[in-house]
Amino acid sequence: MQCPAEGRTATLETMLNRQQPLDDFYAIIPAGGVGSRLWPMSRAEAPKFLHDLTGSGNTLLQATVERLEPLAGRQRIMIVTGRAHRSAVEEQIDELADHNIVLEADPRDSTVAIALAAAILRRREPDVIVGSFAADHVIDDWRGFRRCVSEAVAAARDGFIVTLGITPTEPAIGFGYIKADGLADIEGAPSARRVDSFVEKPTIDVAKEYVESGDYLWNAGMFISRADVLLEELAHSEPELAEQIEELAAVWDEPEKRGPAVDRIWPQLKKIAIDYSVAEPAAARGKLLVVPGDFDWDDVGDFSSVAKLHNHGRRDRLAILGDGGTVLADSASGVVVSQSKRIISLVGVKDIVVVDTPDALLVTTTEQAQRVKQVVDAIRRSGHSGVL
Amino acid sequence: MQCPAEGRTATLETMLNRQQPLDDFYAIIPAGGVGSRLWPMSRAEAPKFLHDLTGSGNTLLQATVERLEPLAGRQRIMIVTGRAHRSAVEEQIDELADHNIVLEADPRDSTVAIALAAAILRRREPDVIVGSFAADHVIDDWRGFRRCVSEAVAAARDGFIVTLGITPTEPAIGFGYIKADGLADIEGAPSARRVDSFVEKPTIDVAKEYVESGDYLWNAGMFISRADVLLEELAHSEPELAEQIEELAAVWDEPEKRGPAVDRIWPQLKKIAIDYSVAEPAAARGKLLVVPGDFDWDDVGDFSSVAKLHNHGRRDRLAILGDGGTVLADSASGVVVSQSKRIISLVGVKDIVVVDTPDALLVTTTEQAQRVKQVVDAIRRSGHSGVL
């Protein structure tokens, strides 16, 4: 059973139709991650989430905020990002209150980003339910997405940590999977299932078995729970980290104390993904549920995704991103990113990826786009990190 | 019979071995032609012949001069080029005397370039034999080339206009062909043949027949004849143009008269290829011979040729031209021209052509490289001629 399909309660339907925010819900958007495989468009200084990768006119971050607004309300969306990105984020997101932006001294992986936001929010609002949603994913079916989140919030009220698992549309080898167990039978969350286990990125043969079985869902890294439940789970698995985060949260809203606390504590914070610090331990203790979602979802991992999203799957089209120069194409398909002021001519190149920036040029194909990360590693080793 | 093979006279062999210049021979190098299919590397301001397209360390013009030096002597090579290229040509060619450079007010096609040089030279030296050789062709087998030119010069002394026809190595459709007739039986030019006719670029099927027949040779546009014979032929077919050229030549070596004559006459000069004004009429009158040459020859017409020349035919290699930026290649083959200061990354692109210049970028494949000319036409129409 899938959450957008059957078995929804009347209350849920009513809420969706009225599209009123959920009272006790707060959305957290961890906006980090450079997106190496999108180099040289995405870089340390201008990471993936600050770009419009779909041709929608919105950046990925803007689209994420808009998608969450009907669920949480505009004033109940918190963005966690690096200090270097503050001005870019504030420029892109209107009416972003100071108390809704958490600036990281340096990146400390997803546990710190999400748990710190959760801890800050719990001090402001003890019963708050938080949901964390990456700033750089693309979902077009907002209605389907909201329906799933609403179920997840209902289950979170019952004390569960809930993740959204995406129904696979193909045997992808680039994602981790969640093995779902039986229905959890939660009021307001009819499609929520217990979680058997998390599994790492599979081989193609294993991925095919997963998809056929119907029990495996893509791990999209979206987690919904009461803030106190999440922090309690963290305290079990990573007590020291949980304590440091609480210490930071305790002074976060006191400007004269926050700085010294960050200076003292931040460098000691452990880098660990929330999958390992919270989700997997919770699953092992039977506290994790998954709400399956068959809405579209893309993590825009590489230029192949960019081309697909921009060209709506049509392989004969050429997506043009950026407004730098003039692009002249003759029998070309794929994607071109134009960030310099030059004339770009593409002649008879199929499934091509051309990324033209003032100091770096990338030419690859949609099929080879995954390998861009290796190039980035090579550039780092070769001492040209200035362009990364 | 081919000139480099059999039937050479002892005198010819001796000359070749001693590599002494031919006393009465003067080489003319028409250095014009932008090379549209090599855009954006080759441009109006920096045409093809000014570039090193083979990785030899010499530009095409420099290699042409070096190839002709053993035949004509360094002081008997005349370059005909546009006023805009004077300083670039002088920079590339050491010891180029003023009397050996003819500057064109604007391009007037090959008849004007070659016949004007011939007329100027004849006034200085009535019995001179001239040979015209494009500045942007590549020939590696200099010895084979010189052997053929020496035969052609011998036949020219007998009053013939002689062209070198290249023995086809494949059924090329990008060249015109010369249909050769029987041996001409000329002393010192044992392989010279009479010419039946010139034929335009054929279809592939026709080209295959040509190659199989053994009677067809590529028209490489190289002509050798006495200057007076060439001008006489021109006077037959294009009397007005011949007269205008003589008028210019008459005052060319008088600085105070040359300028006014050029201002008055140049704008009226007819644009016509020497194939039509001299070669074809001479062939019709039985005055044209062809010396077949089986030396390698390439007119470097497009980036496919550049890749082939640079990679010595190996399709798995990546040729890197220019010294602008840093090129990082991962499973890439073809050719990259780096004229900007950027990092260029090529990932998993086969037979690719990337030309990176400060104001224009081209991405195509070696297979599609012929189509670059259409792009250049499109750019001209679109009002971006500044990059051409």
Q: How far apart are CA B104 and CA B82, in angstroms?
A: 5
> Among B38-47, B75-84, B221-230, where is mean pLDDT lowest?
B38-47
Length of chain B, please? 388
Q: Mark yes or no for CB contact B368/A349 under 8 Å.
A: yes
Residue that wins the pLDDT comparison between B379 and A16? B379
What pLDDT score was predicted for residue A2? Answer: 56
Q: What is the DSSP letter of B267?
A: G
- Residue A326 — very low, low, confident or very high, per pLDDT cuts 50/70/90? confident
Checking if the pLDDT of B14 tops 80, the result is no
Which of the four pLDDT bands, split at 50, 70 and 90, describes residue B7? very low
Which among B345, B352, B357 is the nearest to A362, CB-wise?
B345
**pLDDT tens digits for range B190-222:** 999 999 999 999 999 999 999 999 999 999 999
Cβ neighbours for B346, distance < 8 A, ≥ 6 positions apart? A363, A364, B318, B327, B328, B329, B330, B332, B336, B352, B354
Tens of pLDDT, residue by residue over B51-94, are: 998 888 899 999 999 999 999 999 999 999 999 999 999 999 99
Q: How is residue A365 written in tokens?
A: 């194909």
Query: ipTM surpassing 0.90, yes or no?
Result: no
How would residue B45 be classed by pLDDT, with cut points 50, 70 and 90? confident
- CATH class entry, domain B10-293: alpha beta
Domain ranges of chain B: 10-293, 311-387
- Share of residues in chain A with pLDDT > 70 (%): 95
Q: Could you tell me the pLDDT band of residue A208, with boundaries at 50, 70 and 90?
A: very high
pLDDT at A316: 86
pLDDT for A9 beyond 70: no
Judge whether A360 and A340 are in contact, CB under 8 Å: no
Cβ pair B367:A361 closer than 8 A: no
Distance in Å, alpha carbon of B342 to nearest chain A alpha carbon = 5
Write down the pLDDT at residue A388: 85
Name the residue of chain A whose CA is nearest to B359's CA. A342
Q: Over the range A99-124, which residues count as b (16 or more CB within 10 Å of their CB) and which as e?
A: ebbbebeeebbbbbbbbbbbbbbbbe
* Integer CA distances (angstroms), B12 to A276, A285, B98, B146, in order: 85, 96, 32, 10
Q: What is the pLDDT of residues A223-269, one digit of tens each?
A: 999 999 999 999 999 999 999 999 999 999 998 999 999 999 999 99
Sequence-ordered list of residues with C-beta below 8 angstroms from that of B101, at least 6 positions apart, any chain? B78, B79, B80, B81, B86, B89, B90
Residues in B closer than 8 angstroms to A363, CB to CB, are 344-347, 349, 352, 354, 363
Question: Is pLDDT of A13 > 60?
Answer: no
A326, A327, A343, best to mutate vs chain B, most B CBs in 10 Å: A343
Dump pLDDT digits (tens) for A278-300.
Answer: 999 999 999 999 999 989 999 99
> Which residue of A359, A367, A379 is in closest CB contact with B342?
A359
The answer to whether the CB of A388 falls within 8 A of the CB of B343 is no
Whether A37 shows a pLDDT value over 70: the answer reads yes
Say what the pLDDT of residue B253 is: 96
Tokens representing A186 are 């939660």
Position A6 confidence tier, pLDDT thresholds 50, 70, 90: very low
Q: How far apart are CA B131 and CA B19, in angstroms?
A: 17
What is the SS3 assignment for B361?
A: strand
String of DSSP letters for A13-42: HHHHHHTPPPTTEEEEEEE----GGGTTTS
Instruction: Please give, rounded to a whole number of angstroms, the shortest distance from the CA of B303 to a CA of chain A.
Output: 12
- Tell me the chain B residues in contact with residue A374 when contact means C-beta distances shorter than 8 Å: 330, 347
- pLDDT value for A214: 92
User: What's the mean pLDDT in A95-105?
Assistant: 96
Q: Token digits for A303? A: 């230029």
**Which pLDDT belongs to residue B324?**
64
Amino acid (1-letter code) at residue B246: E
Interatomic CA distance for residues B346 and B319, integer angstroms: 12
CB contact under 8 A, B343 and A358: no
Residue B50 to chain A, least CA–CA distance (Å): 23
Phi, psi of A355 (to 5 degrees): -120, 110
If you average pLDDT over residues B98-113, what whole number do you get?
96
